[in-house]
Amino acid sequence: MPRKIAAGNWKMNGQRENLRELQRLEDLHGDADIAILICPPATLISACEDTPFDIGGQDCHSAVSGAHTGDVSADMLADAGASYVLTGHSERRTDHGETDALVAAKSVAAIDAGLIAVICIGETLDERESGKTLNVIDTQLAGSLPDSANAQDCVIAYEPVWAIGTGKVPTLEQIAEVHAHIRARLNARFEDGDEFSLLYGGSVKGSNAAEIFGVANVDGALVGGASLKAKDFSPIITALERA
């Protein structure tokens, strides 16, 4: 069975005072039997060392070290206490021009550093409306997911770009179609394709989490806005525990 993962991506939000939210979450879910992953800004990773939750970076460089001003390597994230890192989030692809090849290189660096790479893929609204969703998913999966990957060190997050931060969510049928497609591609390429955790991301909230987690091949969620406050993230975690 794939691991169930409730993942929160704080993006460029959060200072030390916001770690109180982690304490609140610990009071509610400190002994959860699913994986709870928090990806705070890199500046807060080492300050999370006492949390029972898994901690992840939001990005890493593809190199181990070197002259890359402003960047953070996967080894550094691991040294700071992270066990996961997001790669290829659509905001990185858009804001920083990240290509599938770069996302694959970052994912390899993450795996080499002992991190689990959460590789993000998803179509834009234009691509969906012109019927290209599954082609885009195929291209991104083929290009971003390294051949050396396996279900222990990679997670796939399907995040339609048009659903991120917009309050718009695909229909359950649309989520089911893409997740089944991803599963089939993983099974065709990897012996343990059935074991990869597949997360859905994009405007997941307490009010829609249970129905999304009821969709076949959805093993959890990657949550942005609703992960910032314990009171918003908690119902999502509870819905995943019950799924």
21: DSSP letter? H
For 147, the 3-state DSSP assignment is coil
Q: Which is nearer to ligand PGA, 148 or 207 (CB)?
A: 207
Give the nearest distance from C-beta 139 to ligand PGA in angstroms.
20
Name which of 75 and 200 has its Cβ closer to ligand PGA: 200
Q: Which is nearer to ligand PGA, 75 or 159 (CB)?
A: 159
Stretch that binds ligand PGA, among 69-77, 101-109, 159-167, 186-194 (CB under 6 A): 159-167
- Cβ 205 to ligand PGA, closest distance in Å? 8
CA distance 106 to 129: 30
Q: Does the protein bind ligand PGA through residue 30 (CB under 6 A)?
A: no
Q: Give the burial class of 91: count Cβ atoms within 10 A of its Cβ; 0-12 exposed, 13-18 middle, 19 or more buried.
A: buried
Beta bridge partners of 55: 38
- The CB density around residue 165, as the number of other CB atoms within 10 Å, is 13
Paired sense of beta strands 198-201 and 154-158, if any:
parallel
Which part of the chain contacts ligand PGA (CB under 6 A), choosing from 71-79, 135-143, 196-204, 231-239? Answer: 196-204
Q: How far is the CB of 195 from ligand PGA (least distance, A)?
A: 23
Active site residue 241: no
At a CB cut-off of 8 Å and minimum separation 6, what does 89 contact?
9, 58, 59, 120, 159
Task: Tell whether residue 204 is a contact of ligand PGA (CB under 6 A).
Answer: yes
Residue closest to 160 by CA, chosen among 131, 122, 127: 122
- Closer CB to ligand PGA, 71 or 232, in the complex: 232
Q: For ligand PGA, which residue of 38, 178, 223, 236 counts as binding (CB under 6 A)? A: 223
The answer to whether residue 225 forms part of the interface with ligand PGA (CB under 6 A) is yes
